[in-house]
Amino acid sequence: MQATDVIIIGGGMVGLTLALALEDSGLRVAVIESQLPDATLADIPENRVSAINLASQTLLTRLGAWPDTVSRLGPYTHMQVWEADSSANIEFSANLVHQAHLGHIVENKVLQLSLLERARLSPHIELHMPAKAHTISVSEQGAFVLLENGIPLTGRIVVGADGARSWLRAQLKPNMVQWDYDHHALVATLRITEPHQQTARQIFRGDDIIAFLPLADPYQCSLVWSCPPQQAKQRLALSEQDFNNALAHAFDFRLGPCQVLGPRMTIPLTARYSQQFCGARWALIGDAAHTVHPLAGQGVNLGLQDAAALAQTLSQLHQQGKDIGTHAHLRAFERWRKAEAMTLLAAMEGLKRLFGHSHPLLRGLRGLGLSATNKITPLKRQLAEHALGTAGLQPELSKLSPQPRLAKATT
């Protein structure tokens, strides 16, 4: 029997962030992850990327886990959003909030490898990778997890950070609210003709939402093309040349002709919201608790802030000599993060519905509204703060104010 304090199911970006954020707490942590990421990075950037805002970058830097591979980090300093065939548009820059950049486009694999490297050097973290949880039981006394390899683990709390199809959530069966966005995200890596100038661009065109996200190479972008499932299937089946032509046209040729690099893939988009983020001896964070539409690129940031908030809560409870697994002690965390998740879910649903209607009157109102917002500096500053991740109630580790933290460990 291996005894620990916090058992984390899921060793991806969110789970490893939680483990590292508990480093100074005095709590022992076990991380269970079924797959070890391949440490090899291909010449062409991976299709799965995240827009890591400045608050999340601050968090990862303080944990000593911000990637050292500068050649794989795509900083963005500007954002442009517009609607095809109308005057609706808005743009803002990091200068508006006196920052050097708004965030970075980073491959998920690069982030996970950096977090894993740091976790391997931390004496308070025990990694079970690769390993799978087989059974779980929770009681007033604690949590018990039996791995498929026969290793038994006991802890004071078990945390699900195992993604949208969470194994832990399936075992605990909290009430879920979910709906299909009736969209798939077609993702790929692109070579563009004109330099992206560190600008994240997004166009709304009827049922289509197309984002070009700037990568480290000034002539490469990550594509996220959100569209109805049948259209996604048809576009995936196009020849490379036909797809390139269709994409450049749909994007108003803003960056000239483009060329797909490597494979294309599609991802179904579903909104999920667990009506419970925690209970006696358990908690859910990241996509295990909620998933949102990627049109604002905030899903991963929401999960990373969940991890920081839970680490802050558990650390404070432990320092106060309180039981870290008692539901009553976890309710403040639950209220905090449920409010943040619901706000983002509602905002994404509202944006999708607002731009999903093609009625001429509504199109005109959208144009007037966005154009007016584009001219009002205080409103644009608020949007920029949301893009930075500095709006709302932030965990201490994510705040931009100076705070001492251990540097990245070295061998």
pLDDT tens readout for residues 263-298: 999 999 988 999 999 999 999 999 999 998 776 667
Under 8 Å between Cβ of 215 and 110: no
Q: Which amino acid is at 101?
A: H
Q: Residue 384's domain spans which residues?
A: 2-178+271-398
CATH of the domain at 371: 3.50.50.60
Contacts of 341 (CB under 8 A, 6+ apart): 273, 289, 290, 292, 302
Residue 277 lies in a domain: yes
Residue 204 has a CB neighbour count (10 Å cut-off) of: 23
Distance CA(228)–CA(230), nearest Å, equals 6
Confidence of residue 364 (pLDDT cuts 50, 70, 90): low
Provide the H-helix boundaries in 320-405. 327-356, 360-375, 377-388
* Statement: residue 156 has pLDDT above 60: yes
pLDDT at position 406: 44
Residue 124 lies in a domain: yes
Residue 126 lies in a domain: yes
Distance CA(338)–CA(332), nearest Å, equals 10
pLDDT at position 350: 61
Q: Look over the chain and give the mean of its residue pLDDT values, rounded to a whole number.
A: 88
Residue 257 lies in a domain: no
Q: What is the pLDDT of residues 112-139, one digit of tens each?
A: 999 999 999 999 999 999 999 999 999 9
What is the side-by-side strand order in the sheet with 278-279? 125-128, 29-32, 6-9, 157-160, 282-284, 278-279
Under 8 Å between Cβ of 52 and 115: no
Distance CA(300)–CA(14), nearest Å, equals 8
Integer CA distances (angstroms), 351 to 14, 292, 354, in order: 26, 12, 5
* Statement: residue 407 has pLDDT above 50: no
What is the count of structural domains for the chain? 1
Residue 329 lies in a domain: yes
CA dihedral 394, 117, 15, 157 (to 10 degrees): -100
Residue 112 lies in a domain: yes
Distance CA(312)–CA(17), nearest Å, equals 12
Q: Which amino acid is at 379?
A: L
* Statement: residue 410 has pLDDT above 70: no
Q: What is the pLDDT of residues 21-73, one digit of tens each?
A: 999 999 999 999 999 999 999 999 999 999 999 999 999 999 999 998 889 99
Residue 189 lies in a domain: no
* Statement: residue 242 has pLDDT above 90: yes
Confidence of residue 384 (pLDDT cuts 50, 70, 90): low
User: Can you give the pTM of this predicted structure?
Assistant: 0.90
Residue 230 lies in a domain: no
| pLDDT over 90 percentage in the chain | 70
